[in-house]
Amino acid sequence: MPSTISWLQVHTRPTLMIPGPTELAFPVIQAMNQPPAIQYDRSFDEGVLEPTTLALRDVFQTQSEVLIMPGSGRTALEAGALSVIEPGDRVLVVGAGAFGMLMREIMNRVGADMTEFPVEWGARLDLDRLAHEAERLRPKAITLVHNETSTGTTYPAAAVGKIARSVDALFLLDTVSSIAGLDVRTDEWGVDLNMTGSQKCLGAPLGMALVAVSPRAWTAMERRKHGAHSYAYDLLRWREQWVPVSRGGKVPDGTPRRQPISIPTHLTAAMQVATRLILEEGLANRVRRHELAGMALRKGLAAMGLEMFPDSTIYSNTVSCVRAPKDIDPAAVVKRMREVYGILIGTGLDKIRTFTLRIGTMGVTASPHFVLPTLSALELALRDLGYKTEPGAGVAAAQIAFANAM
């Protein structure tokens, strides 16, 4: 007789409670179960691609063009950066975590004259100081990570957009872990490039990069002294080959268009369904759902005696970054949760990797159905590793939070 039970034997894969990629709704998975479509066929454009990009405008809360291309969040960030920034252009990068550092790296690679506005990890952004720095530098662009996935924080994008506008700078916003989970108002906030990826709160598979481009950003591209050094990701070429004349491009309306890069048909089909589900739910409801799930998760963590990493005024509702109990290695918690209880969460990143854990509540996982089992598995894993808490306290607190909210 075996002496130990492997709970994992009954699972074929872990449930994804990492901060992306996230779990997919079943209709999104089903949308990919089909033979290959012909990506340049008009029926694909008219039946799938065009309706999806038009519907995505509602998700982005913009009247402007939304481009979808193969890649990931990083592709969107790089395509945006290399399309509007020329070597030597001044750029002010707000760096409040690992993804702020990523933007810094991308700007360095496109040759920007980059100045970082450093923010302590997990801390609030000092808007007055930022406004002062923007005034002093008068940059061509200011970049911000709306939701810093490495620290579980949300930054005030609307206020930074105002600062950018006040110094006539472009506003480049990374919404990789916020779009379709938090309220992201592209036009109202003056976002010139809203850059994101498919695999988080949009609830689509990994593999698509999305960029919403404002009229000001198009103008900046047209005014470049030299063409962008990328063929595939020069967004100005996308506009010329892809966008109809009635929307400011060069393609006569109603005529077939040439894809700037071959668009993955299965991923677009999945995105079409994911977008439909978002709009059927309604953006306001969806944002509220993420708010409740994030709040209930945090209540549960607190009831287990765990402390959040960031400043309590800027908690993200899509990613929670929590300190591991003293003397417990976050990597061991992740391993135990995955191997024994079948739920995958993440450790922190970079300099906070050794003492923090991160849990995503994104798309379908922002619900009691996923949050309660995650708290339960976390408690069990911590108990196995020697941290004792009152049995069920985390789940009970989260359950009360959900019950009171509904």
Ligand X SMILES: Cc1ncc(COP(=O)(O)O)c(C=O)c1O
Comparing CB distances to ligand X, the nearer of 197 and 260 is: 197
From candidates 176, 274, 277, 395, binder to ligand X by CB under 6 A: 176
**Nearer CB in complex with ligand X: 191/372:** 191
For the bound state, the minimum distance from the C-beta of residue 174 to ligand X, rounded and expressed in Å, comes to 5
CB of 16 to ligand X, least distance (A): 13
149 binding ligand X? (CB under 6 A): yes
Taking the C-alpha atoms of residue 265 and residue 370, their distance in angstroms, rounded to an integer, is 30
Nearer to ligand X, 20 or 348 (CB): 20
Residue 162 to residue 179: CA distance in whole angstroms? 20
Classify burial at 253, counting beta carbons within 10 Å of its beta carbon; exposed 0-12, middle 13-18, buried 19 or more.
Answer: exposed
Asked if 151 is part of the footprint of ligand X (rule: CB under 6 A), the reply reads: no
Distance between CA 49 and CA 37 in Å, rounded? Answer: 12
Applying CB under 6 A, which of residues 17, 20, 161, 309 lies at the interface with ligand X?
A: 20
CA 335 to chain centre: 24
Which of these ranges, 2-10, 31-39, 58-66, 169-177, lies near ligand X under the rule CB under 6 A?
Answer: 169-177
Nearest-5° Cα angle at 302, 301 to 305: 95
User: Which residue's CB is nearer to ligand X, number 268 or number 376?
Assistant: 268
SS (H, E, C) 326-384: CCCCHHHHHHHHHHHHCEECEECCHHHCCCEEEEECCHHHCCHHHHHHHHHHHHHHHHH
CB nearer to ligand X: pick between 52 and 318: 318
Binding piece for ligand X, criterion CB under 6 A, among 26-34, 113-121, 173-181, 338-346: 173-181
- Burial environment of residue 135 by CB neighbours within 10 A (0 to 12, 13 to 18, 19 or more): exposed
Nearer to ligand X, 176 or 184 (CB): 176
> Tokens 């938090």 label which residue?
182
Closest-by-Cβ residue to ligand X is: 73
Between CA 332 and CA 352 the distance in angstroms is: 15
Give, in order, the Cα–Cα distances in Å from 277 to each of 55, 199, 204, 285.
11, 15, 10, 12
In the complex, what is the shortest distance from the CB of residue 153 to ligand X, in angstroms, rounded to a whole number?
A: 10
Q: Count other Cβ atoms within 10 Å, centred on residue 189.
A: 22
Among 197, 205, 342, 346, the residue binding ligand X under the rule CB under 6 A is 197
Q: By CB under 6 A, which span of 51-59, 68-76, 79-87, 392-400 interacts with ligand X?
A: 68-76
User: Taking Cα atoms as reference points, which of 182, 169, 123, 167 lies closest to residue 143?
Assistant: 169
Q: Smaller CB distance to ligand X: residue 297 or 381? A: 297
Residue whose pair of structure tokens reads 């089903």 in the numeric block: 30
Among 142, 145, 173, 375, binds ligand X (CB under 6 A): 145
Stretch binding ligand X (CB under 6 A), from 72-80, 111-119, 269-277, 283-291? 72-80
Residue 74 lies near ligand X (rule: CB under 6 A): yes
Q: Which stretch binds ligand X (CB under 6 A): 172-180, 281-289, 335-343, 392-400?
A: 172-180
| Distance in Å, CB of 51 to ligand X, minimum | 24
d(CA 204, CA 25): 8
Q: Does 154 bind ligand X (CB under 6 A)?
A: no
Residue 72 binds ligand X (CB under 6 A) = yes
Q: What secondary structure does DSSP assign to 267-320, as a single string?
A: HHHHHHHHHHHHHHH-HHHHHHHHHHHHHHHHHHHHHTT--BSS-GGGB-SSEE
* β-bridge partners, 118: 95
Check residue 68 for interaction with ligand X (CB under 6 A).
Answer: no
Q: Which is nearer to ligand X, 20 or 80 (CB)?
A: 20
* List of residues contacting ligand X (CB under 6 A): 20, 72-74, 99, 102, 145, 149, 174, 176-177, 197
